[in-house]
Amino acid sequence: MRRSEFLQALAAGVLTLSLSPLRLEALAADRKPLRFGILTDAHYADRTPSGSRHYADSIAKVREAVAEFRRAKVDFVIELGDWKDTTQLSEAEPTLRFLDTIERELQAYGGPVYHVLGNHDMDCLTKAEFLAHTANAGRARGKAFYSFAVRGVRCIILDANYNEDFSPYERGNFDWRKAYIPGEQIEWLDAELAKHSGEPTLIFLHQMLDSFSDISKDLCVGNASEVVAVLERHRQVVAVFQGHHHPGHYSQREGIHYLTLPGMIEQAAPANAYAVVEMSADRITVEGFKACPDRVMQRKR
């Protein structure tokens, strides 16, 4: 070893020795926690209101949420499905215009954006058409289910938009009360969790997985128990974020939190519903806006 290399190695060793365990813990504690913006069920369409659903108002609502996400300097933004709606006649061409319009509002965030597929996203479109008119960040682009990591946290997005025979939702060929996740996707989920066992993990999907709770089974994934069994086998799973049920819902089992966010579509603007979520070492803090309540979920696993 040359003298210069020896001195460099010695300097590196001295530096390593100078970092006590307490200092290493302090450095870990200094790491910025994960923060993300989240919303669901915008159902945007340029059509007149129907009951409590104010389709056209979702433009202003998403714009408001994006402005807050910018102020909060979140790491990414995710919407949990039913991103757009359709015309009363369920026509594909104007529906694609609705989708393009609301997508521009979300992409104005300027950072990473992710989508979850909801049943209304395929009411008169194919999955391929929906994905071609939306833009997930990075390697998730064009995918209906996928995984990514930010600040040491693994995020896994699932697609439950399949019929009981596991044919995909396409152009309204489904009953919204019957949603399933195919075996191949469940196997992928299991493998993904095993591969990233050292990373705290969040799950995102549209329909609900907590069929064990007091919620109507019509709102839940038909084979949710299979998926939940996989999640409970992997101790790093912290929480599941869901949409679909516009009033919102919460349950907990085996240390996993299941949080259903309220739907943005409900009531005329300035009513709204969205949240900024922060995940720290010991808790998940949900800062809710308008109809979305605040919540603190302790990490117990």
Q: Among residues of the chain, what percentage have pLDDT more than 90?
A: 89
Q: How large is the average pLDDT for residues 54-62? A: 98
Same domain, 47 and 17: no
Same domain, 19 and 75: no
Q: Are 130 and 99 in contact (CB under 8 A)?
A: yes
Same domain, 130 and 274: yes
Q: What is the residue-wise DSSP string for 130-179?
A: HHHTS--SGGGTT-SSEEEEETTEEEEE----B-TT-PBP-TT-S-TT-B
Q: What is the residue-wise DSSP string for 166-208?
A: -PBP-TT-S-TT-B---HHHHHHHHHHHHHTTTS-EEEE-SSB
Same domain, 104 and 148: yes
**Band of pLDDT at residue 300, cut at 50, 70 and 90:** confident
Same domain, 160 and 214: yes
pLDDT tens across 189-204, in order? 999 999 999 999 999 9
How far apart CA 224 and CA 208 sit, in angstroms, is 8
Q: What residues have CB less than 8 Å from 87, skipping those under 6 apart?
A: 45, 47, 94, 95
How far apart CA 249 and CA 215 sit, in angstroms, is 8
Q: Kindly tell me the burial class for residue 25, based on how many C-beta atoms sit within 10 Å of its own C-beta (0-12, 13-18, 19 or more).
A: exposed
Q: Are 251 and 268 in contact (CB under 8 A)?
A: no
Which backbone phi and psi does 275 adopt, to 5 degrees? -155, 155
Q: Are 133 and 96 in contact (CB under 8 A)?
A: yes
Q: How many domains does the chain have?
A: 2
Same domain, 26 and 77: no
Same domain, 128 and 16: no
Mean pLDDT of the chain: 92
Same domain, 3 and 106: no
The predicted structure's pLDDT at residue 301? 73
Same domain, 19 and 78: no
Q: Return the SS3 of 17.
A: helix
Pick from 175, 107, 109, 168: which is nearest to 141 by CA? 107
Same domain, 21 and 137: no
pLDDT tens across 194-241, in order? 999 999 999 999 999 999 999 999 999 999 999 999 999 999 999 999
If one compares 263 and 8, the residue with the highest pLDDT of the two is: 263
Q: Are 286 and 47 in contact (CB under 8 A)?
A: no
The predicted structure's pLDDT at residue 77? 98
- The answer, yes or no, to whether residue 21 has pLDDT greater than 90, is no
Same domain, 15 and 95: no
H or E segment and range at residue 22:
helix 21-30
- For position 204, which CATH number holds? 3.60.21.10
Same domain, 192 and 294: yes
Containing structural domain, residue 8: 1-30
Give the ranges where 196-285 is alpha helix by DSSP (H). Answer: 224-233
How far apart CA 47 and CA 59 sit, in angstroms, is 12
